[in-house]
Chains A and B, each alone.
Chain A
Amino acid sequence: MTDVVMRAEDVHKRFGRLEVLKGVSLDVQQRETVCIIGPSGSGKTTFIRCINHLEKIDGGRITVNGHLIGYRQKEGKLVEDSEKSVARQRTQIGMVFQRFNLFPHKTALENVTEAPVHVLGHSKEQAAEEGVRLLTRVGLGDKCDTYPGKLSGGQQQRVAIARSLAMRPALILFDEPTSALDPEVTGEVLTVMEELAHEGMTMIVVTHEMGFAREAADRVVMMDEGVIIEEGTPEHFFEAPEQERTKQFLSKIL
């Protein structure tokens, strides 16, 4: 557990006059699962969207596997990278969205094989074989030819997880993956995520599911008003959070 997969150093992000991230620094090691918690508006979603450059950052730097994300060094200054190399870097970083964002005009299997075939250039046969394996792994081996519209929210989110796994990313970002789900189906998604965590996938998870954090997280990070105010093991957060703000927040969601 010594290899840093993702390193954020003093990341700043502004939307107009509103400063959403006010200097966030975080290292994530290989095979580590980090949960980011915090009230809405604290910047946690914005932060993980910066990691795959869906949001541009206004200050600081983010590296994944040692490569600077979204920018490159030019004469000592950082300039925005070309679209092509940003796209290439994103193949390394999976993302699972709150609202799944499956492609509704493609079947579950086509959703999973789309990027391996058209971005990585894998053969259709190879991608389909791998896709069926991944869908089976998330418990949807029988839904390969089903369109997203015919799947429940929990099933859709599991397809979305399989879709990002198909790229064999170094890191997967989860943006509140269960917030849009009915309470009764959150379990099936969390189970898949717990399995992934135990198998050693490197994951950064924005979530309010403290049960998941307790079960699967190596580390929990609490954000508030654009900064990280506390970090530690899940036990630390359950037993003895230090900050008053953290105690307040946890008492509300637990």
Chain B
Amino acid sequence: MVWERIAHPDHVFFIALTRTVYVAVIAQFMGVVLGLIAALMRMSKLYPMRLLSGIYVWIFRGTPLLVQIFFIYYGSNQLLGFTLIPNALHLGFFSLDGAILAGILALGINEGAYMREIVRAGIDSIDKGQMEAAKSLGMRYGMAMRRIVLPQAARVIVPPLGNEFNNMLKNTSLLFTIGVYEMFADAEIGYSNSFLPAEYFLGVAFWYLVLTTVWTFIQAAIERNLAASERGEEIPFFERLQAAWNPVTAWRTR
């Protein structure tokens, strides 16, 4: 029964769900960092920096994500001549399977190429006068960027970043192809053992929907928090989250 898959997911399924979430979070974080670096390189005075940033985006937006995932997992060690992707990575108490590591890298690097444009648009949207005012107060470029421009750009970057994360949650399902046991892999294996496709795939679709819906509410809360602080109001994040969660107030104040 579909209902069975939705209402009573087993323990293994929850491990897979957790994996989907942390892979998406880490890969998205990596994408933001790479996107920021690439955006700053794109605005550099030095031509090689701009070129490098251009090539990065050109390649990773111009080829399929699935190809990138396969290349990084199966091909990168051969190309580089050293082991970028080990069989397993041990970090103290925590160890990460090589396929998960490769998957996070592939999703993160791919995401960075998309985030570059988002970060750049955010920085571009800030009035040039902000940088000039910071410089005229004796700030150097890095400090002016960090303390004055980026905090303001963040408000512009957050809404599209939220949409990117929504995509990221779903794109993690591609990692099933390199053997990462995430949510979709759990469904796929369940299906091939039972030959009950409707049940398993509808069930996993439901849980993706749960994740993206929860994220939508969190995103709405973050956005309204930013909008409120822009108006100079200080509203605790938790209250914002509650307001977003409550269907009545969320509808009214959106």
Residues of A within 8 A of B (CB): 52, 54, 83-84, 87-88, 90-91, 93-95, 97, 99, 101-105, 114-115, 118-120, 146-147, 149-150, 163-164, 167
Contact = CB atoms under 8 A, between A and B. Distances in A.
Contacts of A167: 137-138
B129 A99 contact: yes
Interface stretch (B72-80, B93-101, B143-151, B181-189): B143-151
Contacts of B239: none
B132 A88 contact: no
B152 interface: yes
B132 A101 contact: yes
A147 B228 CA distance: 12
Contact of B132 (A97, A105, A119, A149): A97
Interface string B218-254: 0000000000011110000000000000000000000
Nearest to A49: B132
B139 A118 contact: yes
Contact of B152 (A54, A88, A105, A120): A105
B171 interface: no
Given A101-B130, A105-B151, A163 B141 contact: no
7 contacts: A99-B129, A102-B133, A104-B152, A105-B229, A115-B138, A115-B139, A147-B231
Contacts of B147: 114, 118
Nearest to B154: A105
B127 interface: yes
A119 B148 CA distance: 13
**Which among A91, A102, A103, A147 has the highest number of chain B CB atoms within 10 Å?**
A103
Contact of A97 (B129, B140, B143): B129
Contact of B136 (A52, A83, A99, A105): A52
Given A104-B152, A114-B147, A150-B232, A95 B136 contact: yes
Nearest to A89: B138
A82 B215 CA distance: 46
B232 A90 contact: no
B135 interface: yes
Contact of A114 (B127, B137, B229, B230): B137
**Which among B127, B129, B137 has the highest number of chain A CB atoms within 10 Å?**
B137
Contact of B138 (A88, A97, A105, A146): A88
A103 B130 contact: yes
A91 B229 CA distance: 30
A54 B136 contact: yes
Contacts of B138: 87-88, 90-91, 115, 119-120, 167
A163 B129 contact: no
A163 B232 contact: no
Counting contact residues on chain B (CB < 8 A from A), the size range is 20 to 34
A124 B194 CA distance: 66
A94 B136 contact: yes
**Which among A88, A97, A101, A119 has the highest number of chain B CB atoms within 10 Å?**
A101
A51 B232 CA distance: 35
Given A103-B130, A114-B147, 16 more contacts: A87-B138, A87-B139, A87-B140, A93-B136, A95-B136, A97-B132, A101-B127, A103-B152, A104-B152, A105-B151, A105-B230, A115-B137, A118-B143, A118-B147, A119-B138, A147-B232
Given A114-B147, A118-B143, A118-B147, A90 B136 contact: yes
Contacts of B143: 118-119
A162 to B, nearest CB: 12
Given A83-B140, A104-B230, A90 B135 contact: yes
Contacts of B139: 87, 115, 118-119
B151 A101 contact: no
Given A83-B140, A105-B152, A150-B232, A54 B135 contact: yes
A150 B130 CA distance: 18
Nearest to B137: A115
A91 B136 CA distance: 7
A163 B137 contact: yes
A90 B137 contact: yes
Contacts of A164: 136-137
